[in-house]
Amino acid sequence: MNNEILKVISRKSPLALLQVQEVFDIFPDIKYELSVLESYGDKHKEISLLENPPVDLFTRELDNAILVGSADLAIHSAKDLPYPLAAGLEVIALLDAFDQTDSLVSRDNMTLNNLPVGAKVGTSSPTRRKELLSIRPDVEVISIRGTIEERISLVDNEEIDALIVASCALQRLGLKHRVSEELSFETHPLQGYLAVVARKDNPKIQSLFKSKDIRLAFGKVTLVGFGPGNPDLLTIGGDKALLQADIIFHDDLLDRNFLDKYTAEKVYVGKRKDKHSFEQKDINRLLLDAAKTGKSVVRLKGGDPMVFAHGGEEIEFLQTNFVEVNVIPGVSSGIAVSAFTKVPLTHRGIASSVAFISGHSEDVQLPDTDTLVYYMAGANIRLISQKAIATGRSPKTPVMLVYNVSMPDQQEFFSTLEELAEGDTKYPTPVIIVIGDVVSLRNNSEQSVVKPLILVTGTQKEHYEQVGKVIHQPLIQITGIDPNPELAYQLEMLYQYHWLFFTSRYTVNFFFEALAKSGKDARSLNGIKIASVGNVTTQALKQVGIVPDLQASEESSVGLLNDLERLELTSGKVLFPRSDIGLPVLPDGLKRLGWEVTTIPVYRNSLPENHKPLDLKNVQMIVFSSPSCVTNFKHLYGQFPPGKQYVFRGNETEKRFKQLSTHRTT
């Protein structure tokens, strides 16, 4: 193929011809012959480029020449290419830009700030027009066409005062001296790049240019759906993509703590109503810029990337800029709401069609389907209900509103269109709204028996799920102490102790884990008696093959002390594994009874990072399982809300509450 002469087609403007020469200067061994023509855009200069011209305005005729075989390839300014390319064509090489800035060419070399009010500034780009008016809203924007030389002549002939043009075009034409100011405008991502376009079915030509194709160094972007918020709903594919990522761009709809397991750089690009961290165009550019540096990029989105999540916009932007994009689906909130409330969206004989609708704007749609599922509709609940009735739906149609689908604090509210249209009830957001007769299928007895909403602040919630609907927000984080040389030393000195006291399942777990790491097991405790503070701790001991010699009759440190006094047990040497912030009640009490006590921290008890206060308006009961939960609740919420029922595990937990609380408990 190297001995063959390639047939190259180009527009006949001086800039286009110089771009062809620039490409073949990079490939000096490739022989070619050049044909030129005028594109449709060249012939029809009356078409304004500021008014959405045809996407193939400058490429159509060149594309046709390649497709019919009269040319092998064409050289284009990459930003002029349509998306997608004509069927049968592809970009076989993208060549790097040496300058992506814009420049101002003006009379008397005036800068942009020095142009007079009402100055006429020429441009052919909507992007440049927007940038210009954001800085100088007082100038008049003039739509211009023609070659660079023809445009500059408009300045020289005083038809316009200034012109905005790509710096690289001026440099290629040897006109850099005409620049009065380099502008700090945001430019097209492909400005300055050159693209080699050929037929898809000619691998020999493709191989000639591949070595300089900068796309070979590009990274890949993967859009990953995280689901509605519960980490358990992340797919295996999504987890793999996150593990392989170099950088993760994520939003609000997930627990940031979950991302700590991934080594990638994390960038927050959250978007919430009236609280945008980044506009969508900024997010697009961040993804592109990261991929162009060769990084493996993940855009992590709540729900599914392709459902009300701007996934299509990101795909189009990245692909038009020659970045490979993959999509890994996620569980959309509109689907999750059905599973987590056990309300089907379709049901034989009741509903055979469902629509998913954005409720974000006031111009909400009401498709003619049996079931309507509205996303992001918290601000328009009343309006949607009124419109639904106005378009013929029964005022008695049942409605379900679900807050924070799949999350520990998920809440469900039931109403009718009539009640929502007339009322002014405020519901927490984000909320998914389900409208339709399927809502009535929710177990009637489940709705008629009103169960209390319970906030559980400890690590275990199962016991309370029988009492009511549980919101689980653990306010303690348990982590092992590793390395723990003090514990390692005490394990070697076990022979000197008469008793081991365990006051939680965590002390059991971490103690026996350390024992196993030291090469020992439960047999090394022969001759040592074991005391347990209660049933949960005893069950943990039984799992490692230990039946305690003493279990407190009342599950508390005080209860264990009372039993020791009542049984008149002979005092001895005690090893007492506990947390790093363990209470002094039991060790001090043992010392008063004449025991020799050694305490040893085996785990850390801390407040989890990045916790945010929940909406407790509808919570009726708050459960504290330890004094740490009480302390951390006060730290997170600032106060203990009045009018709630408080439940405490242990006297010390209630004592801590009374110390920090300013109102009477129930």
* Interval 457-502: pLDDT, tens: 988 876 777 777 888 888 998 899 989 999 999 999 999 999 999 9
pLDDT digits (tens, 9 = 90+) for 360-400: 887 889 999 999 999 999 989 999 999 999 999 999 999 99
5-96+193-215 shares its CATH topology with 218-331: no
pLDDT-based confidence at residue 305 (cuts at 50, 70, 90): very high
Q: Which of 266, 331, 343, 275 is nearest to 299 (CA)?
A: 266
Mean pLDDT for 289-317 is 96
* pLDDT on residue 665: 47
What are the sequence ranges of the domains in the chain?
A: 5-96+193-215, 102-183, 218-331, 334-448, 453-476+609-660, 481-606
Percent of the chain's residues with pLDDT above 70:
96
Q: Per-residue b/e over 583-594, b at no fewer than 16 CB within 10 Å?
A: bebbbebbeeee
- The fold of 5-96+193-215 is D-Maltodextrin-Binding Protein; domain 2 (3.40.190)
* pLDDT on residue 448: 47
CATH of 481-606, one of 3.40.50.2020, 3.40.50.300, 3.10.350.10, 3.40.50.10090: 3.40.50.10090
* Catalytically annotated residues: 251, 271, 376
pLDDT digits (tens, 9 = 90+) for 156-205: 999 999 999 999 999 999 999 999 999 999 999 999 999 999 999 889 99
Burial of 599 (0-12, 13-18, 19+ CB in 10 A): middle
Q: Which of 609, 635, 614 is nearest to 455 (CA)?
A: 614
User: What's the whole-number average pLDDT of the chain?
Assistant: 91
* pLDDT on residue 253: 63
- The fold of 218-331 is Cobalt-precorrin-4 Transmethylase; domain 1 (3.40.1010)
Q: What is the DSSP string of 602-616?
A: EEEEEPPTT------
Collapsing DSSP to helix, strand or coil, 70 comes out as: coil
* pLDDT on residue 252: 76
Is the per-residue pLDDT at 273 higher than 80?
no
* pLDDT on residue 462: 66
pLDDT digits (tens, 9 = 90+) for 42-57: 999 899 988 889 999 9
Q: What is the DSSP string of 1-36?
A: -TTSEEEEEEE-SHHHHHHHHHHHHHSTT-EEEEEE
pLDDT-based confidence at residue 666 (cuts at 50, 70, 90): very low
pTM, whole model, 2 decimals? 0.74
Mean pLDDT for 350-360 is 94
Is the per-residue pLDDT at 61 higher than 70?
yes
CATH of domain 102-183: 3.40.190.10
| Highest averaged pLDDT of the listed ranges 51-60, 67-76, 437-446 | 67-76
Q: Distance between CA atoms of 12 and 615, rounded to whole angstroms? A: 67
